[in-house]
Amino acid sequence: MIKSVLFTAVAATFAVAATFAFATPLLAKDYPNGGVTGNEVAADLRGIDQTAEVGKDSAGDPLVTAAFKVGDTSIDYKIFFYGCKDGRCSSIQYHVAFDGDPSKLAEWNKGNRFARAYVGDKKTIHLEYDVDVEKGANTVAIQNSAQRFIAVMVQGVKVLG
């Protein structure tokens, strides 16, 4: 089920990406050096029709729980924040977990420079995608990183799921 939904998501993601490639430069908001806040990232995700709620992780740093919809199906993922100081965080990490085939992890990781996959405690596959935002970011950069993560997630489920 998740595979077919995610394949449909690829087409939708690229259509949305093409739309925002032309529209968002006029709407882009620059963020200061030092990183981004959970509220900024959540607002940027909402700007591309994703749901996003801001909470806190066990260390007290922001944690965004997000989802994108394909038809009536919602695909959930999380964004963890690292290097947080004075409310701004220098990097973010997109994360999703799903059931899959761990025997293909080495092959998948070999072909991915910025994303990685591993097996968690319950033999669940975890995909992570890191983004450095310390020297500044903007709305377009955050939205593009979310769209890239969705593409990585689709590829990961296709190969590993």
For residue 95, what pLDDT is reported?
A: 97
**Measured distance CA(91)–CA(109) in Å, rounded:** 21
Q: Which two tokens stand for residue 112?
A: 């991915």
* Chain-centre distance for alpha carbon 27: 21
Which residue range forms the structural domain that includes residue 62? 2-160
pLDDT in tens, 125-138: 999 999 999 998 99
**Measured distance CA(92)–CA(157) in Å, rounded:** 21
CATH assignment of the domain containing 44 = 3.30.1460.10
pLDDT in tens, 104-120: 999 899 988 889 999 99
In this prediction, the residues of the chain whose per-residue pLDDT falls under 70 are: 1-27
Number of domains in the chain: 1
For residue 13, what pLDDT is reported?
A: 46
* Chain-centre distance for alpha carbon 55: 16
Query: Which own/partner pairs from 12-15 qualify as long-range (CB within 8 Å, at least 24 positions apart)?
Result: 12/70, 13/68, 13/147, 13/150, 13/151, 13/154
For residue 2, what pLDDT is reported?
A: 57
For residue 3, what pLDDT is reported?
A: 54
For residue 70, what pLDDT is reported?
A: 72
For residue 4, what pLDDT is reported?
A: 52
For residue 20, what pLDDT is reported?
A: 44
For residue 114, what pLDDT is reported?
A: 84
> Could you tell me the pTM of the whole model?
0.83
